[in-house]
Amino acid sequence: MSRLLSQDDHCHNLELHKLHSTCQDWGIFQLVNHGVSTTLLEKLNHEVEEFYRLPLEEKLRYRIREGELEGYGTRSRGDGKFDWIDTFNIVTNPVLKRKPHLFSQLPPSLRSAMECYLSELQKLARKLICLMGKALKIDEKEMKELFDDGLQAVRMSNYPPCPQPELVMALTPHSAITLLTILHQVNGVDGLQVKKDGHWLPFNFIPDAFVVNVGDIFQIFSNGVYHSIEHRVSAFRETERMTVTFTELPNSEADVGPSPSLLNEDNPPLFRTVGMEQYFNDFLTRKLYGKTYLDHMRIQNGHQQSST
């Protein structure tokens, strides 16, 4: 990140080209020298681990309520099946959308560390999005309109040891439906795998790096220049894994579709344009697997698919 923000044009342009190529070829990368302090990350790690050490009765105070998506609980794949993971999902921005029984009721030390972390990640994510737009030669104003007052969420995840890891998937294969996702490894345990050219590859983490995923919305916005990547998480017999995931999406009034700046007669839209609310609601009606929802957004043979 320090090179991307460098005042040295040669250094900046070289790193921007690397960012552009990586978003085209992989859709996932590890960001180092990101500027978020080690002290803050160590504090966050401690607080997340302490939360998951709480008795189940305490954690169930935050359980996902009927008909809602936020809160503490397990992750359903549909068909009565669940991933081997306990998650705590919270919408954190706009602040008015925060549910009063969740974020504000967290243990004070966890809430304080998380507020500081979210402030840093919001700034980092928006710098990255603008840099990715610059690499695509899209005006910074258009990029800022994309995330202005956008929806942000955080997810704490705990992948407990599994007695029969060969029979389960800790996290179903999927691509992120977001604009951008930033993953922080709490306890340094691997397990993430990415799908490249039809093959599943282990993803080995660099200590203190953030893992950044290009989301489906960014693939759509770039009209297919950038790619989101399908990924999954394997379970372990004896090892526990913990992560914190920060997600950035457009605001609820925005449209999800290719950037007008990239479209012309030689580069027609490859994806439909729909409102953010419809995009999200359509996703909720479909089973999470692979990149099926992104495929649903594609324009097939020059004709837009129905949204149903």
- Contact present, 183 and 195 (Cβ < 8 Å): no
CA pair distance 208, 297, nearest whole angstrom = 35
Q: What is the predicted pLDDT for the residue at 302? A: 52
pTM: 0.92
Of 103, 50, 115, which Cα lies nearest the Cα of 72?
103
Q: What is the predicted pLDDT for the residue at 76? A: 61
CB neighbour class for 203 (10 Å; exposed up to 12, middle 13-18, buried from 19): middle
- Contact present, 126 and 96 (Cβ < 8 Å): no
Q: What is the predicted pLDDT for the residue at 67? A: 84
Q: What is the predicted pLDDT for the residue at 307? A: 41
At 113, the amino acid letter reads A
- Sheet bearing 192-196, strands edge to edge: 171-174, 231-233, 192-196, 199-202
- When mean pLDDT is compared across 1-5, 277-281, 283-287, the lowest value belongs to 283-287
CB neighbour class for 84 (10 Å; exposed up to 12, middle 13-18, buried from 19): buried
CA pair distance 184, 161, nearest whole angstrom = 20
Pairing of strands 192-196, 231-233: antiparallel
Whether 158 shows a pLDDT value over 50: the answer reads yes
Q: Where do the structural domains in the chain lie, given as residue ranges?
A: 36-297
Q: Work out the average pLDDT over 282-295.
A: 83
Interval 84-111: pLDDT, tens: 889 999 999 999 899 999 999 999 999 9
Q: Work out the average pLDDT over 126-138.
A: 96
- Selecting from 2.60.120.330, 3.90.1150.10, 3.40.50.450, 3.30.565.10, what CATH number does the domain 36-297 have? 2.60.120.330
At 301, the amino acid letter reads N
Whether 170 shows a pLDDT value over 80: the answer reads no
